[in-house]
Structure 1
Amino acid sequence: MSTTTQNNIATSTAKPWLIDLVLLGALWGASFLFMRIGAAEFGALPTAAVRVAIAALFLLPIALVRGQGPAIVTHWKATFGVGVFNSGMPFALFCFALLTINSGLAAVINATVPMFGALVAWAWFRERPSGSRIVGLVIGFTGVAMLASRSAGLHAGASSNAALWAVIACLGACLCYGISASATRRYLGGVPPLATATGSQLGATLFLALPAIWLWPAQMPSLRAWLALLALGIACTGVAYILFFRLIERAGPARALTVTFLVPVFALFYGAVFLGESITQWMLISAVVIVCGVALSTGVVRLGPKPKTA
């Protein structure tokens, strides 16, 4: 086989997962835009609850048609529990944060999720990170501290104290994602991804239902807010989950993880174009520091020579 033919085959094989990667980054980047729009009228908990409820209604028929009903029933305790940490709590925390900080800033902090995943895996599975990864963790959290040290990315009139709580909420959401990743590995190994995704959204819906009803806004939210949550539930959660698991299948977990680098780029762009959010030089510098830390802490980039392979 000629080199040209091999290159063409390689390109045609790579292209589908690259398209999925970019599309997933665009969808998850948009989720911060829609969360901010929704939370402004619904409030944090109702926004998160409506999001997961719509996602569950979207995913459940697909899962049933594909014969995943028995898997959801068999593993309902684990999937529902994972849903609390994978969707319920982090979505609510991000919505709370977006009442104070801009969508782009929240998305930049969200890029620390792989670092929290590494820390939780270290604590849970005793997977001690290498020297490069430890350096990456330090660099990444330094970038977060840089972001939190200034008022860049705040809503008009927001206080520095409120900003601090917003950053803490974002970091709490990232920690929840890290816990859910290890919990999925520990308790849901071998379970079909679609069943896990659907069960997790059902669990998150049940978890948020009563608080959302209690805190439901007295005034009916506008059509704009409802459309934002519809897009958030269907596109940014339901469709995004399908793309994410297909990306893992086609490209592997390591490549799928690189979507973390794309999400803040799209979120900053959407926030600037559609919400008039400002992008300061300090935010960009901090984002670069965080991305460098994530790249090292996840093993995408390593310090020193590459290990030799047989």
Structure 2
Amino acid sequence: MSASGLTHPHAVSPSLNRAWLTPLELGGLAAIWGTPFLFMRIAAPAFGPLPLVELRLALGAAVLMPFLWRARSALRPGLWPRLALVGFINAAVPFALFAWAARRAPAGVGAITNSMAVLFTALVAFLFYGERIGPRRVVALLAGFAGVVVLASGKAAGESVAQAAAAGTTAAFLYGIGTNMVRRHLAGLPAAAVAAATLACAALLTLPFAVATWPARPIGAGPWSAAAALGMLCTGFGYAMYYRLIQRIGAARAVVVTYLVPLFAVAWAWLLLGEPLTSSMFVAGTLILGSVALGQQPAAPKGT
């Protein structure tokens, strides 16, 4: 229906629009969110973890700042300590862990462990908030953890990736804590504004450590470009795109992007960095992504 209440004779059906728009947006977001692990592999050796994280947080917050400005009246002063805590747990520390891991393992390792965030969100809700987890999610968690063990036992270029896998898994667990905090303590607030606020708080918290560890050597154009893309494209634009998807199709459907991110991350690293897909990464990725898919399946109705 048009604004006048009449059907436009040449209007495209909204259902047909969504039929191609949703997969296109999900695929586009997965392609974007598959690149942070690539960009961190390029930039982390030059910057170090904390300076790189500072750039990522500050640039991401800058891109999302218009959303925060528009909704500034909704974020009362008493909320800011909570926003800062969420920014620390859900952005500053996980980003630093992934940046640290990027110097020690292929991009696919970080991307695969990142997928565990969906399962850790359910686990944290069960452990700390009393939500039911159900037998299906218990099996999914066990399969996901088995995938992490397989991943940690693997090697890349003859070197163990166990430390990088542990860092990525810890970061995913922190994402699970942060997601539950947002759900319970920041519900009802504009999501993109919350993202901007938490990133800005995280940037302020990280700033002293970034300054203290800023590299003495000059940094080349390649790492600077990778850092800029990591902050502006992956963090700022990617978050904005994700929240648009949540508003349009709902969180349950938008989270499908989680299954696609590791595939794009491995593909980007293979195409642009020449990183191979090892057998342990393949087995671990299958177990973890399969567990995430299983954990997202709705429970069967009783009596069926």
With the length of structure 2 as denominator, give the TM-score of the two structures. 0.91
Task: Give yes or no for contact 1:85–1:176 (8 Å, CA) kept in 2.
Answer: yes
Cα deviation for residue 249 of structure 1 reads: 1.0
Deviates more, 1:288-297 or 1:92-101: 288-297
Residue aligned with 2:261, SS: helix
2:205 aligns to what?
207
Supply the distance in 1 between the matched residues of 2:279 and 2:226 (Cα, whole angstroms): 29
1:141 aligns to what?
145
Instruction: State the number of aligned residues.
Output: 291
Matches within 5 A, 1:46-85: 46-64=51-69, 67-74=70-77, 75-85=79-89
Task: Give yes or no for contact 2:68–2:194 (8 Å, CA) kept in 1.
Answer: no
1:307 aligns to what?
301
Supply the distance in 2 between the matched residues of 1:26 and 1:71 (Cα, whole angstroms): 32
1:4 aligns to what?
none
Supply the distance in 1 between the matched residues of 2:37 and 2:55 (Cα, whole angstroms): 15
Q: Read off the aligned partner of 2:232 and give its amino acid letter.
A: I
Residue 289 of structure 2, aligned match among 287, 291, 304:
291
2:176 aligns to what?
178
Q: Read off the aligned partner of 1:307 and give its amino acid letter.
A: P
Residue 95 of structure 2, aligned match among 73, 76, 91:
91
2:3 aligns to what?
none
Residue aligned with 2:34, SS: helix
Cα deviation for residue 285 of structure 1 reads: 2.1
Q: Read off the aligned partner of 2:108 and give its amino acid letter.
A: G
Task: Give yes or no for contact 2:152–2:166 (8 Å, CA) kept in 1.
Answer: no
Task: Give yes or no for contact 1:124–1:182 (8 Å, CA) kept in 2.
Answer: no
Supply the distance in 2 between the matched residues of 1:106 and 1:127 (Cα, whole angstroms): 28
Cα deviation for residue 275 of structure 1 reads: 0.7
Supply the distance in 1 between the matched residues of 2:167 and 2:90 (Cα, whole angstroms): 15
Supply the distance in 2 between the matched residues of 1:22 and 1:82 (Cα, whole angstroms): 28
Supply the distance in 2 between the matched residues of 1:226 and 1:73 (Cα, whole angstroms): 36
2:217 aligns to what?
219
Residue 229 of structure 1, aligned match among 227, 230, 248:
227
Supply the distance in 2 between the matched residues of 1:167 and 1:68 (Cα, whole angstroms): 38
Where does structure 1 lack aligned partners over 5 or more consecutive residues?
1-6
2:34 aligns to what?
29
Q: Kindly provide the CA deviation profile for residues 219-261 of structure 1, in whole angstroms up to 9, marking residues without a partner as x.
A: 0211111111111111100011111111111111111111110
Task: Give yes or no for contact 1:34–1:232 (8 Å, CA) kept in 2.
Answer: yes
1:3 aligns to what?
none
Q: Read off the aligned partner of 2:46 and give its amino acid letter.
A: E
Q: Read off the aligned partner of 1:204 and give its amino acid letter.
A: A
Residue 24 of structure 2, aligned match among 8, 19, 32:
19
User: What is the alpha-carbon root mean square deviation over aligned residues?
Assistant: 1.8
2:126 aligns to what?
122
Residue 103 of structure 1, aligned match among 88, 103, 107:
107
Where does structure 2 lack aligned partners over 5 or more consecutive residues?
1-11
Deviates more, 1:126-135 or 1:263-272: 126-135
Q: Read off the aligned partner of 2:74 and give its amino acid letter.
A: A
Task: Give yes or no for contact 1:28–1:236 (8 Å, CA) kept in 2.
Answer: yes
Residue aligned with 2:103, SS: coil
Supply the distance in 2 between the matched residues of 1:127 and 1:72 (Cα, whole angstroms): 28
Task: Give yes or no for contact 2:94–2:172 (8 Å, CA) kept in 1.
Answer: yes
2:271 aligns to what?
273
2:6 aligns to what?
none
Supply the distance in 1 between the matched residues of 2:41 and 2:76 (Cα, whole angstroms): 34
